Amino acid sequence: MSAVGTSALASAAHWLLVCILCTLAYWVIGRLFFRCGRGSRVLFVLAAFCVAVAGAMVYAESHTFALQHPLLALPIQVVFLLIFYIFPDRRFTPTWARWLAILYVFSQLGTLSSGKQPQPPPQQISAILSSVPGLLGTLMVLGDMLAVTVIAVGILPQVYGRYRNLVAHSETSREPNRSGMLIGVCVSGCLLLLIVSALFTASTERSSSTVYLLARTTFYLLATLAPVAVAFALLHVPRLDRPALGRRTMVSSLFILSLLLIFAVCVAVLGLVVPGFAGFSALGYLPFVILIAVLLGALFRPLRAQIQDRVDQYVYPDRYRARHYIEAFHSSVRDGSGLDELGNQLITTIQKAFAVDALVLWLPTIPSHAQTPDIALRRLPGSGGRLDASITSIEIGAGDPLRPWLSAASRFLTVGRLPLDSAATRTLASADVAHLLTFVSQGVLTGTLGMGTRAPARPYTADDAELLMTLADELAPMLQTAAVAHRSELEARQRERVEQELQTARRIQESLLPKEVPALDGWRIATRYQPAREVGGDFYDFLALADGKLGVVLGDVTDKGIPAALVMATTRSMLRAVAMQPQVTPGQALAQVNDLLCPDLPSSMFVTCFYAIVDPATGRVIFANAGQDTPYLRRPDGSVGTLYATGMPMGLLPESRYEEGEATVAPGDELLFFSDGLVEAHKAAREMFGLPRLQRLLGSQDDATPPITMLLHELAEFTGPDWEQEDDITLVSVQRMSQPDDTGRSEEPAVQPDASEVSDGGYGTAWRTLDAWSVASVPGNEQQVIARVAQVVGSLGIAPARLEQLKTAVGEAAMNAMEHGNHFDPERLISIEVVTSQAQIAVRITDEGGPGAITAPVAPDLDAKLAGLQSPRGWGLFLIEHLVDEVHVSDDATHRTVELVMAIDDPTSSVPRS
């Protein structure tokens, strides 16, 4: 008996020693693996394979041992359970695998408690099969093997999940190496089979010592790798953290004790209720064991959670509070919260959870990707506590050794223990920041929480760190989303403000320009106002003076935007009020306005202005000038003179006097007033359009083309396609017709709203411009174009259905111009001109695309599209061509104009327009 006892004790000691040594060995291996091979796929697959196979082997060996020494096996089973659960790593032991483990262990315990001890077993599994008599032994061994296999296989998906996680955080590619995993799984499966079959072979052919030796060696080799799972679990704790280990050990011990207790009670109750339970046959006994194991399995999680909670509550109240605060935060925080809201919630939670008031949250000022070398962090306003007065922003350069620590994964760093010397850490340390919690989502730092020391010098335990890192992992993507939303909101608000201001200025300005040009017998007056992107201060005005005279004003306010628009409005009103007084000459009018403006205008602002009074009957013009470019007077013989007068711009010097000049506009003569936007336009090489060019162009102008059209065309030629208009361009042409009848205008009953130019447009019939404007090439702007065209055209009496067609066609043409002509470059504009003749309406849409066909390569065909032979898109031109009466395309070197023409009366309808 004593010999047996000694042998059993020696065997148990041997087994325990192997376990302990292996644990230590694997702790070292795992440590190395984590330090060097973080993200290495090969190493990871290797480790995964080891965990799977070795785990299975340890089980097999333990079973053999349990059969040999049932009484000694009991503590070893308990130790084994402890090892499995003290450091639970859910990544390696799925719940159902734990159930199986419990089933296994308790079936062993059941065997012991039933008093049916198996025969002294031989060394190998197959031998067990032959030596344990009856069905029970066979079932037990087969069941155990099944459990072993299932557990081994069950671990693999967990390892796979862990692997994915690892790859996602370390590599640029987020797709895991599936083939690598597959190979690992296959190899481990094959080895498992090989070893089991080798053991079988060895047991049946004991004499074949080579095979047996090989099998044993392989087995021990793999069994030595078993505790890698424990090593992983240990590595979960970044350093040997006694409080954390103590807490886990306490929780696990209590847990296992509770399980054993429940089991014992169950067996005792069964013994009382079922008579002769202890003496049951093997088959009758098994269902009870399974039933109890299932019961324990069901209790497993809630029981463990309960025990953990109670232990925390009474032994570790700090952790208990922290965990509850953080859990509450998890459940309340929502994706989509604002950045500041999220940040403040986080700070409040951590303040409460860890009783620390010194907390500061820094958020990246620019999106810092793993590739971006520098990190710039700004402090969340209001965060700081005791750290408030210290640092508001941190810059971490590419060369800073702290940099790599901030992008791999969310971490809890202790500033004083970082194995590096960096400017940033020194700054942090000087500001009493003891710990950093980094929030990293997909390799991008989305926030950093600086934490001061806790009030009573209580260190953060590994459990605290783990809690914080879990929180950081969950919160990092939310912070990222919130930061992106925050940034775009700020940008949008800024854009909106600027845009609103511009629009207000433009509205003020446009509302003050004359809605119509005066109709004078024998005279033709045309204007063109082309605002720059940023609203300037050009204005012009026509004053119907007493005795039928016409006042013409053209001015320019320095400055841009709303201030310019306001000064312009004021000047215009003053000039109107002053000039309308009887017998006020232009010089007097300018002088009076100057005196009125001087006290109110800021010193940096002034107004240039040219004011002329035209007597339509005689052609006599009296004028005065306040610093404005002098208008040109073109004679039919091609000579070009100026209406020369000098004077200071208004608003600079009080009591300025303005020289007056006088000229006569004979029939056929033409006056051109212009703002500096035209003559000061320059091309990329800084060459200005200039007065000489303007004078030359006017001199060589043919009579057929209206001067304004000609000048704008020449300007476009001069500046080229990429020109961005810097200043408003205003042109006013006052032409005295050589014969009173050819005005083409005196017959027209009334001036159309917004009509601003009369030109022949080169299309034979007389076209009148109803409206002209430009929009940026931004998708969606075509709807603005449609709306404005509809508004302009609405009064012409076009049939509603045809108006709809025109609207759709205009939208398509505008889209085409923005997309194909201007490539949706927001800096490039498309200009729209709505013109009308008596019978037709035309919309001209010009882009900066230059010459080129606008036709689609193939006509769209629905069947071909449905069959996948054509792109589903490409309907635009088709629609345009089918929705309007005519489409004309014209282009020059830099522009392409598509003109959509539609009859005002429906040509297909027999009912004439009333």
Partner 1 sequence: MPQASTKITARQVNGGIGILDIQGDISGFAENVLMDAYTQAATPATHTIILNFTGLEYMNSSGIGLLVTLLIRANRQKQRVLAYGLSEHYRHIFELTRLDGAISIYESEANALAAATAH
**Contact between 805 and partner 1 per CB under 8 A:** yes
Kindly tell me which of 573 and 855 has the beta carbon lying closer to partner 1: 855
At residue 826, the 3 state secondary structure works out as coil
- Region of 351-359, 432-440, 589-597, 878-886 interacting with partner 1 (CB under 8 A): 878-886
Kindly tell me which of 667 and 874 has the beta carbon lying closer to partner 1: 874
Q: Smallest gap, in angstroms, from Cβ of residue 775 to partner 1?
A: 11
- Region of 214-222, 223-231, 604-612, 868-876 interacting with partner 1 (CB under 8 A): 868-876
Cβ within 8 Å of residue 207, ≥6 positions away: none
Cβ within 8 Å of residue 555, ≥6 positions away: 538, 539, 540, 568, 571, 572, 575, 607, 608, 609, 610, 626, 628
Q: Compute the CA torsion angle 798, 799, 805, 806 (nearest 10 deg).
A: 0
Kindly tell me which of 420 and 778 has the beta carbon lying closer to partner 1: 778
Kindly tell me which of 311 and 809 has the beta carbon lying closer to partner 1: 809
Residue 613: what residue type?
I
Can you tell me which of 534, 629, 782, 891 binds partner 1, judged by CB under 8 A? Answer: 782
Q: Smallest gap, in angstroms, from Cβ of residue 819 to partner 1?
A: 10
CA distances from 255 to 2, 78, 88, 107, 316 (A): 35, 12, 12, 19, 17
Q: How many residues bind partner 1 (CB under 8 A)?
A: 30
CB 858 within 8 A of CB 871: no
Residue 544 pairs with which residues in a beta bridge? 550
**Contact between 823 and partner 1 per CB under 8 A:** no
**Contact between 696 and partner 1 per CB under 8 A:** no
Tokens at 860, concatenated:
């769209």
Can you tell me which of 4, 801, 869, 889 binds partner 1, judged by CB under 8 A? Answer: 801
**Contact between 470 and partner 1 per CB under 8 A:** no
CB 450 within 8 A of CB 387: yes
**Contact between 310 and partner 1 per CB under 8 A:** no
Give the distance from CA 874 to its chain's centroid.
30
Can you tell me which of 632, 848, 876, 891 binds partner 1, judged by CB under 8 A? Answer: 876
CA distances from 55 to 103, 224, 400 (A): 16, 10, 43
**Contact between 777 and partner 1 per CB under 8 A:** no
Residue 5 parent element (H or E): helix 2-36
Strand 767-776 relative to strand 523-530: parallel, antiparallel, unpaired?
A: unpaired
- Region of 166-174, 263-271, 273-281, 799-807 interacting with partner 1 (CB under 8 A): 799-807
Q: Smallest gap, in angstroms, from Cβ of residue 806 to partner 1?
A: 11
Can you tell me which of 878, 885, 892, 903 binds partner 1, judged by CB under 8 A? Answer: 878
**Contact between 903 and partner 1 per CB under 8 A:** no
CA distances from 490 to 186, 485, 537, 898 (A): 54, 9, 29, 38
Q: Smallest gap, in angstroms, from Cβ of residue 908 to partner 1?
A: 13
Strand 393-396 relative to strand 829-836: parallel, antiparallel, unpaired?
A: unpaired
Can you tell me which of 779, 794, 850, 907 binds partner 1, judged by CB under 8 A? Answer: 779
The one-character DSSP state at 519 is P
**CA–CA distance, 445 with 732 (Å, rounded to integer):** 60
- Region of 54-62, 622-630, 727-735, 866-874 interacting with partner 1 (CB under 8 A): 866-874
Can you tell me which of 324, 378, 533, 865 binds partner 1, judged by CB under 8 A? Answer: 865
**Contact between 815 and partner 1 per CB under 8 A:** yes
Can you tell me which of 174, 178, 683, 882 binds partner 1, judged by CB under 8 A? Answer: 882
Kindly tell me which of 341 and 861 has the beta carbon lying closer to partner 1: 861
Can you tell me which of 23, 113, 656, 781 binds partner 1, judged by CB under 8 A? Answer: 781
**Contact between 847 and partner 1 per CB under 8 A:** no
**Contact between 860 and partner 1 per CB under 8 A:** yes
Kindly tell me which of 13 and 778 has the beta carbon lying closer to partner 1: 778
Sole residue written with tokens 């009859």: 903
**Contact between 874 and partner 1 per CB under 8 A:** yes
Single out the residue of 548, 539, 540, 546 nearest to residue 521, CA to CA.
548
Sole residue written with tokens 């942090």: 428
At residue 831, the 3 state secondary structure works out as strand
**CA–CA distance, 825 with 818 (Å, rounded to integer):** 8
Footprint of partner 1 (CB under 8 A): 778-784, 786, 801, 804-805, 808, 811-812, 815, 860, 862, 865-866, 868, 871-876, 878-879, 882-883
